[in-house]
Structure 1
Amino acid sequence: MDPKTKKAKTCWNVPASTIAEQTFNPIRNIVDSMKLTPNPEKEMIALSIGDPTVFGNLPDPEVAEEAVIAAVRARKSNGYGPSVGCKMAREAVAKHISTPSATVTAQDVILCSGCSSALDLCITCLANPGQNILIPRPGFSIYKTLAESLGISILMYDLIPEKSWEADLGHMEELIDVNTAAIIVTNPSNPCGSVYSQRHLEDILALAEKYKLPIIADEIYEHFVFPGLKYHPIASLTKDVPVLSCGGLTKRYLVPGWRLGWIIINDRHDVLTQVKSGLVRLSQRILGPNSLIQAAVPDILEKTPASFYLETLNYIKRNADVFYERLSAVPGLVPVMPQGAMYMMVGYDKDLFPEFKTDIDFTQSLVTEQSVFCLPSTCFQYSNYFRIVLTVPTEKVTEACDRIQEFCSNHYTDVLNGVNGHQH
């Protein structure tokens, strides 16, 4: 039959594409399927969403607001710009990101619609269907969502809670095979709040160098580290391993809805020449991020006072200290003290809470009885933990701890010693 021959269909059949069918967000799927019915006698305390703006207690910097207002009033940033972002904004990002050992220029920067868009472009550009990328476990679910939608497999290397969630390097090396296209490294970490030492990052880089694998560095929480600790951009620690570093304004500046992210192409020995061209072409699918926010970027990055960062970090660190001290004293709970970002992972001994088969059951019951909502670690491809967000108002931290303690007291069951409920 002539392929040009038209034949009327007798019924509608409009299927979704393969990519659409393969796109699956674990967090949304799990949360949407949970039976979240809060206790009507207790106000809901949501410790679940990594959005620092939810409670209104952590305002964005005034400098940022003024910069956006000025961009609006100037009426010079209302049109289309380059798909990779306007030069002025890219120059500001390059200056902000550059270190003595890893200097980049505007030509190495691609601006995106948030860090998730940056990750999307990097994964799409580095891997083909049938290949795999290594991601951390527990890890941010977007890596899995993005990769599997494209037919790219994910292999999850374990993080070690007893070592402040350092990567299990032996496990990472075991997973690498001929189809591995890249390693994703998250530092500082969501959901763990870990901040890697220079030595640990260098050990990861040594593996990447050994197997000649590029690194996708999720560094959206750059410099978001507690006092006494130091953030090391992974690209600053290597002269050989190519690194695509993904970041943005979202977390440090407390403006997730502004959707301004970036990719920093840290090329080594010109091995990313094709990748760089590919990222530029992929950026043309979106045609650049928000033009008004781009216009504000130079002032935001250059003029935000250091006191703003310090006050934000001190606030979150104080909350982390309270959560850690209080929850450490609850039998059956094992919180892991974070070193940065805005999260804490809390483990529970499943043998002491036998009525809960999974962490989803545990957190769902916590909502039903105490109106405290934490994300189950199943959202991060892990089990028997839950993640709490540290950006809530301090008075809610104490109340949340009281409720979690009461919940655990009611359900604690030490079978070996014949103790259950309130008796311990």
Structure 2
Amino acid sequence: MENGSTLKKKYWRFRRNQEMNMSPEITIRGVRYMIMSKLNKSDTRPVIPLAHGDPSAFPCFRTAQIAEDAIIHSIRSAKFNGYGPNIGILPARRAVAEYLSQDLPNKLTEDDVFLTVGCTQAIQTILTVLANPKANILLPKPGFPYYEAVANSCHLEVRHFDLLPEKDWEVDLDAVEALADENTVAMVIINPGNPCGNIFTCEHLEKVAKTAKKLGILVISDEVYDHLAFGKNPFVPMGTFGSITPVVTLGSISKRWIVPGWRLGWLAINDPNNILKEHGIIDCITRHLSISCDPSTIIQGAIPDILGKTKEDFFLKIINIIKEAANICYEGLADVPGVICPSKPEGSMFVMVKLDLSVFEDIKDDVDFCLMLAKEESVIILPGITVGLKNWLRITFAIEHLALEDGIKRLKAFCERHSD
């Protein structure tokens, strides 16, 4: 037997995947955890979470009773304990089609709907399907960084177009045309807006569709915050313009029903001209879902009741809570030195604000600002660089109102303390 002095080093053949090089520091969760690690443990005040997208922790945001009952009934029925089809259970897909069709000129059928594990799997699916050699995709800046992460993982080149704060965060359509080439396959919009809190007008969405048609690309419309609109512009689904250019709508029950942990999303095809089918995209989506996981059958079994029986008063209650929170946030930020809010949020749960670093004596950038704020005031805010805009901040206002007021008060004290 060889002893320690003569034992040769074993050559192991496994290596880490060199493509998995995304640092956790560039993800929303990674940045949030990094900031939270800077909290002062001696501060006895409650931590104010203004960087999250999950209000379910707060009692005022509890989901609808019918949704809870639907889950219980689904379990007790014993009908949903087995494997489901890779594209989703038929009654659930039909229920999603009916739910989405309420706002569309061209009605969807169950064949237009694919169920996914939250909206994240819907993003993974459509980007993977489109990821051919040399292909590129156009993403908004600021936006949701998960798109970049997925695109990088499947070698899909990313190009960014700006959203314009001076125009209520409209898409810079001239930039879209300038960025696109013969290898561009799609553009992504997020409506209602994460992270900007904007709602695109019907007229602007039509311009987006016409631009996409001109370029020969499809529109991926992330509508995970659908109907969370409380300003001058009503929510209009991009699928309204599916007859102009193919639209793939991504959504879920996570935000409107305040149940992100239930992980039920969808990918819906708005394409009455059957362009995507003719080009093999629909078949490719089906094939991709056959080799990936599918959402819990228990949740799928509950979806017809969740989507079909939730009363309007539940939605109105949630909207009113979020609208009041948006007002508290916007009005409170007006008095905070060094923080500029270009427009009042009208949808989703977020607002983007710009930092005027010339006001501060000892803060070098948005990351530095958020780390110091967490340490000194136990307030967690997301630095804008995480969503594509350096020296901006993304603030979440979907928390209980008293906590939000306290958070803004602490933010103001912090800014006053560090200003000239």
- TM-score by length of structure 2 reads 0.93
Partner of 2:160: 156
Determine the C-alpha separation between the residues in 1 that align with 2:159 and 2:191.
18
Counterpart of 1:30 in structure 2 is 31
Separation of aligned partners in 2, 1:116 and 1:122: 10
In structure 2, what is the equivalent of residue 367 of structure 1? 374
Q: Return the letter of the residue paired with 1:142.
A: Y
Tell me the amino acid that sits aligned with residue 20 of structure 1.
M
Mapped pair 1:90 → 2:90: no
Match of 1:77 in 2: 80
Residues 28 and 145 in structure 2, CA contact (< 8 A), matched pair in contact too: yes
C-alpha separation in 2, matches of 1:231 and 1:131: 31
Cα distance, 1:388 vs structure 2:
1.4
Q: Tell me, in whole angstroms, the C-alpha distance in 1 between the residues paired with 2:32 and 2:55.
A: 19
Shift of 1:315: 0.4
1:16-415 → structure 2 map (5 Å cutoff): 16-21=16-21, 25-34=26-35, 36-38=38-40, 40-98=43-101, 99-226=103-230, 228-273=232-277, 274-335=280-341, 336-412=343-419
After superposition, the C-alpha distances for 1:25-56 in whole angstroms (9 at most, x for unaligned) are 53244344445223624321111110121233
**Structure 1 residue 355 displacement after superposition:** 2.2
Once the two structures are TM-superposed, the CA of residue 104 in structure 1 deviates from its matched residue by 0.9
Distance 1:254 1:41 in 2: 29
- Post-superposition shift, 1:13? 3.0
Give the Cα–Cα distance (whole angstroms) in 1 for the partners of residues 32 and 48 of structure 2: 16
Please, what TM-score do these two structures have when normalized by structure 1?
A: 0.92
Equivalent residue letter for 1:253: W
* Rounded Cα–Cα distance in structure 1 between residues aligned with 2:172 and 2:268: 26
Q: Give the whole-Å Cα distance in 2 for the aligned partners of 1:407 and 1:287.
A: 45
Q: Secondary structure at the match of 2:60?
A: coil
- Once the two structures are superposed, what CA deviation does each residue of 1:106-129 show, in whole Å capped at 9, x if it has no partner? 001000000010011011112224
Q: Is the 8 A contact 1:23 1:146 kept in 2?
A: no
Shift of 1:398: 1.3
Q: What letter matches 1:70 in structure 2?
A: H
Q: For the Cα contact (< 8 Å) 2:131–2:154, is it kept in 1?
A: no
Moved more, 86-95 or 155-164: 155-164
Name the stretch that deviates more: 256-265 or 324-333: 324-333
Over 3 Å counting, the alpha-carbon distance change for 1:287 and 1:368 in structure 2 is closer
The Cα RMSD (Å) is: 1.7
Structure 2 unaligned residues grouped into runs of 5+? 1-8
Question: What amino acid sits opposite 1:356 in the alignment?
Answer: I
Residue 53 of structure 1 aligns to a residue whose secondary structure is helix
Whole-angstrom distance in 2 between the partners of 1:374 and 1:207:
35
- Aligned residue pairs total 405
Matches of 1:167 and 1:406, distance apart in 2: 35
- Deviation at 1:393? 0.9
Cα distance, 1:205–1:260 mapped onto 2, change above 3 Å: same
Are the counterparts in 2 of residues 235 and 243 from structure 1 also a CA contact under 8 Å? yes
Q: How far did residue 268 of structure 1 move?
A: 4.1
Name the CA shift for 1:325/1:107 in 2 (closer, same or farther; >3 Å): same
Describe the superposition over 1:278-309 as per-residue Cα deviations: whole angstroms up to 9, x where unpaired: 00011112242110010100000011010111
The Cα shift of 1:357 comes to: 1.6
Q: What letter is aligned with 1:27?
A: I
- Cα distance in 2 between the residues matched to 1:27 and 1:322: 24
SS in 1 for 2:55: coil
Residue range with higher mean Cα deviation, 396-405 or 326-335: 326-335
C-alpha distance in structure 2 between counterparts of 1:361 and 1:62, whole Å? 42
Instruction: State the distance in 1 between where 2:62 and 2:30 align.
Output: 30
State the AA in 1 paired with 2:11.
Answer: C
Instruction: After TM superposition, give the deviation of residue 19 of structure 1 in Å.
Output: 4.4
Deviates more, 1:358-367 or 1:34-43: 34-43
Q: Do the aligned partners of 1:346 and 1:387 also contact (CA within 8 Å) in 2? A: yes
**In 1, distance between residues paired with 2:303 and 2:23?**
32
Asked if structure 2 preserves the Cα contact closer than 8 Å seen for 1:218 and 1:245, the reply is yes
The DSSP-based 3-state class of the residue aligned with 2:20 is: helix
Q: Which residue of 2 aligns with 1:417?
A: none
Q: 1:43 to 1:304 in 2, by over 3 A?
A: same
Deviates more, 1:10-19 or 1:162-171: 10-19
* Matched-pair contact (CA < 8 Å) for 2:48–2:403: yes
> Deviation at 1:152?
1.1
* Equivalent-residue separation in structure 2 for 1:279 and 1:238 (angstroms): 18
Asked if structure 1 preserves the Cα contact closer than 8 Å seen for 2:350 and 2:395, the reply is yes
Q: Give the conservation status (yes or no) of the 8 Å contact 2:210–2:244.
A: no
One-letter code aligned to 1:15: R
Unaligned runs of 5+ in 1: 1-8, 413-419
Deviation at residue 200 of structure 1 after TM alignment: 0.9
* Secondary structure of 1:111 counterpart: strand
Q: Distance in 2 between matches of 1:53 and 1:279?
A: 31
Q: Is the 8 A contact 1:241 1:268 kept in 2?
A: no
Q: Distance in 2 between matches of 1:337 and 1:135?
A: 23
Q: 1: CA distance between counterparts of 2:17 and 2:197?
A: 36
Q: Which stretch of structure 1 is more off in the superposition, 173-182 or 103-112?
A: 173-182
How much does 1:265 deviate? 1.1
CA contact (8 A) 2:31 2:382 kept: no
Task: Report if the CA contact (8 A) 2:254-2:261 is conserved.
Answer: yes
